[in-house]
Amino acid sequence: MSSQIGEPPVLELRVALTSDSFQALADFYREGLGLSPSQIWPEEQGRALVLDLGHATLEVFDEKQAETVDTMEVGTRVSGSVRFALRVPDLDAAMRRLEAHGAKIVHKPVQTPWGDRAARVQDPDGMQVTIFEHAAEP
C-alpha cells in the first residue's frame, strides 16, 4: 500500500528501552529532561510510560562516522552501536537536571565544527546520550 501524496511513509519513531532499573531510567528521562508522559500503561502489565520527544530522526552511521562524532564530542571512540542525540533549548540547564537524576558525565560541553554545543552523558543503564543545543542564530 502506498502512502498518499504528502503523507510520510513513517508517522512516528518509538524507541523502547527495557531496564531492570525502571524507576531510575524513567526519572532520568522524565525528570532529567523534563519530559511529560504521553501514555502510562497499567502496572499489572508491567511498568511502562511513553515520553514524547517531539521531532525524531534516524541517523545511520558507518564506523568511521561514529568515530568522527565520538572524537569531536568525547575525544575517542566510546559509544556503542546505539547512541541518542537529543536537542535541548538550554544545554547547561539540561546537564544540571540530568546530573541530578543519575547522569554520568562522559564529556563536558564542546563546540562542534558546525557551531552547536554538545555534551555526552550516560543514562543510568549506560546508554550514551549526546545532549546538544543549536548555535545561536546571528
Of all residues in the chain, what percent are helix, strand and coil, respectively (each to 5)? 25, 25, 50
| Helix, strand, or coil (residue 14) | coil
Say whether pLDDT at 138 is over 60.
no
Number of H helices, E strands in the chain: 3, 6
Residue (of 127, 36, 112) closest to 69 by Cα position: 112
pTM: 0.86
Question: Phi and psi for 84 in degrees, rounded to 5?
Answer: -85, 150
Say whether pLDDT at 137 is over 80.
no
| Helix, strand, or coil (residue 61) | coil
79 to 28, 85, 98, 129: CA distances (angstroms): 19, 12, 18, 9
Domain boundaries, the chain: 22-133
Tell me the β-bridge partners of 122.
104, 128
Q: Per residue in 13-45, pLDDT tens?
A: 889 999 999 999 999 999 999 999 999 888 888
Helix (H) / strand (E) containing 84: strand 83-87
Say whether pLDDT at 92 is over 70.
yes
Q: What is the CATH number of domain 22-133?
A: 3.10.180.10
* Euclidean distance between CA atoms 94 and 32, whole angstroms: 7
Q: Per residue in 33-91, pLDDT tens?
A: 999 999 988 888 899 999 998 889 999 999 999 999 999 999 999 999 999 999 999 99
